[in-house]
Amino acid sequence: MTGKTPPVKSNHERFKPEKPGWEARGSEGPVKPAPFGYVRAASLDQVFDLLARYGEDARVLAGGQSLIPSLNLRLSAPAVLIDINGLEELAGIAVDDGGIRIGALTRQRALGDSREIGEIAPLLAMAMPYIAHPAVRNRGTIGGSIAYADPAAELPACAVALGATIELCGRDGPRTVEAAAFFRGLYETDLRPGEVVSAVSVPRSEPGWCSAIAELARRHGDYAIVGLAAHARVEGAALSDVRLAFFGVGGQPVRASAAAAVLEGRAIDQAAVAAAQDALEDDLQPSSDLQANAATKLHLARVLTARVLAQLAEEAR
């Protein structure tokens, strides 16, 4: 190559903060993201006001571990980021007789460290080593994972397997949605314009219930090619209420109900594993993606079914 690369000029100078106190990020020199305004929200009301005012042009900022990379790659160029990290209402873990309520701002790392989560919803703790790396888990939040709804993410599938409830709030007040109904398609959820995820509630895992998770990824910490989160009652040797939630095989977590049905009332032995694997043909219609073709994904789903059932058997012992 000959000649000099022309200097990169930033267009960020054109960004003018709308209000005193607003900061224009990236206004000096060339930076990766397009210019955006930034507000550290002082209340949920302020969040709702900004979401109403900016609509699609606003993004809620939680841990930033998916949002900031997407800004840096210019896959997204919102006018304003609404930082919710200071909002007490969205933080904290609370236990009651029914289960555990995990505030949206709870860091992924805390899911692995919390004694209460380990006791009441151990599947969430088991999922942690599969999510990215410690630096990402230190910032990434459960609410961000749920709202972002990556089809290969662990926490949405865990929420479905555990029968969790997603708590949402907006100008019109709070509402709750079953996790199984919340994830509607590729990065698509039941979150309405102007709403935020406020918490995830998980029913208490009673004695006799066991959880397991496994996934296959190219490198440790990468998103899964295929993964499986499972939750079931194991009484004596027999399985019941089996919930198998696959991730990486569709636009959202996929409940394998045919495989679960053939396992109902059976002991976990070779014949039961083979029957569940065969039933996956009815449950899963994976699309090929950059990671693997559809046939490979179905094969990996069979492999994971055997591994997860072995884990459940081990847990039950």
Ligand X SMILES: Cc1cc2nc3c(=O)[nH]c(=O)nc-3n(C[C@H](O)[C@H](O)[C@H](O)COP(=O)(O)OP(=O)(O)OC[C@H]3O[C@@H](n4cnc5c(N)ncnc54)[C@H](O)[C@@H]3O)c2cc1C
Calculate the alpha carbon distances from 103 to 90, 134, 142 in Å: 5, 20, 8
Q: Decide whether 152 or 316 has the Cβ nearer to ligand X.
A: 152
Q: How far is the CB of 263 from ligand X (least distance, A)?
A: 26
Q: Does 140 bind ligand X (CB under 6 A)?
A: yes
By CB under 6 A, the residues from 89 to 118 that bind ligand X are 104
Pick from 106, 141, 211, 311: which binds ligand X (CB under 6 A)?
141
Q: Decide whether 194 or 203 has the Cβ nearer to ligand X.
A: 194
Q: Does 50 bind ligand X (CB under 6 A)?
A: no
For residue 34, what is the DSSP state?
P
Size of the site for ligand X (CB under 6 A): 29
Alpha carbon distance 192, 225 (integer Å): 29
Q: Decide whether 217 or 275 has the Cβ nearer to ligand X.
A: 217
Q: How far is the CB of 272 from ligand X (least distance, A)?
A: 30
Q: How far is the CB of 280 from ligand X (least distance, A)?
A: 22
**Strands (DSSP E) along the chain, which ranges?**
23-25, 36-40, 58-61, 80-83, 93-96, 99-103, 165-170, 173-178, 183-185, 188-189, 196-203, 209-216, 226-235, 238-247, 254-255
Q: Does 35 bind ligand X (CB under 6 A)?
A: no
Q: Does 51 bind ligand X (CB under 6 A)?
A: no
The region of 54-62, 249-257, 270-278, 284-292 touching ligand X under the rule CB under 6 A is 54-62
Q: Decide whether 238 or 250 has the Cβ nearer to ligand X.
A: 250
Q: Which residues pair with 209 in a beta bridge?
A: 233
Q: Does 131 bind ligand X (CB under 6 A)?
A: yes
> Which parts of 26-153 fold into alpha helices (H)?
44-54, 67-72, 108-113, 115-120, 122-127, 134-139, 142-148
Q: Decide whether 151 or 286 has the Cβ nearer to ligand X.
A: 151
Alpha carbon distance 197, 177 (integer Å): 10
Pick from 44, 51, 62, 80: which binds ligand X (CB under 6 A)?
62
Sequence-distant (≥ 6) Cβ neighbours of residue 250 within 8 angstroms: 151, 284, 285, 286, 287
Q: Decide whether 39 or 153 has the Cβ nearer to ligand X.
A: 153
Q: How far is the CB of 220 from ligand X (least distance, A)?
A: 9
Strand order of the β-sheet with 58-61 is: 23-25, 36-40, 80-83, 58-61
The region of 112-120, 146-154, 271-279, 301-309 touching ligand X under the rule CB under 6 A is 146-154
Q: Per-residue b/e over 137-165, b at no fewer than 16 CB within 10 Å? A: bebbbbbbbbbbbbbbbbbbbbbbbbbbb
By CB under 6 A, the residues from 180 to 239 that bind ligand X are 196-197, 223
264 — phi, psi (to 5°)? -55, 125
Instruction: Select from 226, 251, 232, 220 the least CA-distant residue to 304.
Output: 226
Q: How far is the CB of 26 from ligand X (least distance, A)?
A: 17
Instruction: Select from 104, 122, 99 the least CA-distant residue to 112.
Output: 122
Q: Does 126 bind ligand X (CB under 6 A)?
A: no
The region of 33-41, 62-70, 94-102, 178-186 touching ligand X under the rule CB under 6 A is 62-70
Q: Does 283 bind ligand X (CB under 6 A)?
A: no
Residues at the contact surface with ligand X, assessed by CB under 6 A: 59-67, 69, 104, 131-132, 136, 139-141, 143-145, 147-148, 150, 153-155, 196-197, 223
